[in-house]
Amino acid sequence: MADVILRNISKRFGAIEAVRELSLAVNDGDFLVLLGPSGAGKTTTLRLITGLEQPDSGSVMINGRDVTLDPPGSRDIAFVFQQYSLYPHLTVYDNLAFPLRSPARRVPEPVIRKRVEQTAELLHIASKLNNRATRLSGGEMQRVAIGRALVRDPSIYLMDEPLSSLDAKLRAELRLELKRIQLELGATVLYVTHDQVEAMTMATRIGVIRDGRLLQIGTPREIYENPTDSYVASRLGTPQINLLPARVLSEIALPAGTETVGVRTEHLQLAARNGGPLVGRVHRVEHLGEQNHVHLDYKGQMLVTLADPREALQAGQEIELHLMHPLYFDGAGQRIPAAT
């Protein structure tokens, strides 16, 4: 059974349509990542699930119950925000215990102690339980913030860019840990980010969202290999997929209606000139250590591909291009199936 189901929810703020007829199901044990740029409607979607906002239309179901009109506190949800939102004057222990100490819950103190200690172990902050929250590093603070959600054992965790305020090294570390914890607990997570690496590495499924609409949902691999439109294709992959106007590819056969051809960097292959139809010129080679990024000029279009650092390529050199696994898109950016 799905833990959370959104059916056709829409939400406006004055003239802004923040969320448009969005439907999705977060299944038990899912790590569903909503990936989209700033202003896409990601936070609003989470707030609609928590009840902090109410939809103009559509419904929210949690564990089979329609909670669309229920107040926020009554939903069995834990929320982790981008900012740490800790109580600075309390110790790590008391910050973690806080969600269990509400009078309505009446959790006995020994049970609280056990939950807090288990959670601290899981997050590798057991040695910090007696520290005040303000005496922690950024990464430790964010672990405590995540821990405050974990102690409650809710039916779903909603996370709004919980790693975005951390530096790159900590982000990479906590990414791995969050995923490990989710797998260990079998937790159901709906996670919002604009970071494609987080989406690709942590998600069981990715939903790509833009202008309040869900464009595509699927496993990271499905979304990467089979994007349904050019925007989705360009959201995943570093460097970004090459998108070429069909007019510069008149030498090769394209399906009818093709306006844009997408070729992932790893599928743009270079070869010595041998009479093939597409010849480009090396513009610049960037050395990244384990691989090179080769920027090419093809009829005034800039393309990028990956190359082995041992391959000797010189700026200005002419080279043959081979487009493997091309993706075809129409004028509206919609994918056109390759002719079989």
Contact residues toward ligand ATP (CB under 6 A) are 13, 16, 18, 36, 38-44, 194
CB of 49 to ligand ATP, least distance (A): 12
* Closer by beta carbon to ligand ATP, 40 or else 100: 40
* Closer by beta carbon to ligand ATP, 23 or else 102: 23
In this structure, what token pair is assigned to residue 295? 């920027």
- Helix, strand, coil share of the chain (percent; to 5): 30, 35, 40
* Closer by beta carbon to ligand ATP, 212 or else 280: 212
* Closer by beta carbon to ligand ATP, 22 or else 181: 22
DSSP line for 40-85? SSHHHHHHHHHTSS--SEEEEEETTEE-TTS-GGGS-EEEE-SS--
CB of 212 to ligand ATP, least distance (A): 7
Residue type, 138: G
CB of 328 to ligand ATP, least distance (A): 29
CB of 37 to ligand ATP, least distance (A): 7
* Closer by beta carbon to ligand ATP, 41 or else 99: 41
CB of 149 to ligand ATP, least distance (A): 18
Contacts of 168 (CB under 8 A, 6+ apart): none
CB of 3 to ligand ATP, least distance (A): 21
Phi-psi region of 208 (alpha: psi -120 to 50; beta: other; left: phi over 0): beta
Beta strands in the chain (DSSP E): 2-13, 16-27, 31-35, 57-62, 65-66, 77-80, 156-160, 189-193, 205-210, 213-218, 242-245, 260-263, 268-271, 279-287, 292-298, 301-307, 318-323, 327-329, 335-336
CB of 39 to ligand ATP, least distance (A): 4
* Closer by beta carbon to ligand ATP, 32 or else 40: 40
CB of 218 to ligand ATP, least distance (A): 20
Largest CA-CA distance found in the chain, in angstroms, rounded: 79
Q: What is the residue whose two structure tokens read 């305020």?
A: 165
Cα–Cα distance for residue pair 67/70, rounded to 1 Å: 5
* Closer by beta carbon to ligand ATP, 44 or else 260: 44
- For 231, counting Cβ atoms within 10 Å of its Cβ (0-12 exposed, 13-18 middle, 19+ buried), the class is middle
* Closer by beta carbon to ligand ATP, 16 or else 302: 16
Q: Please report, to the nearest 10 degrees, the dihedral formed by the alpha carbons of residues 169, 291, 235, 146 taken in order.
A: -20
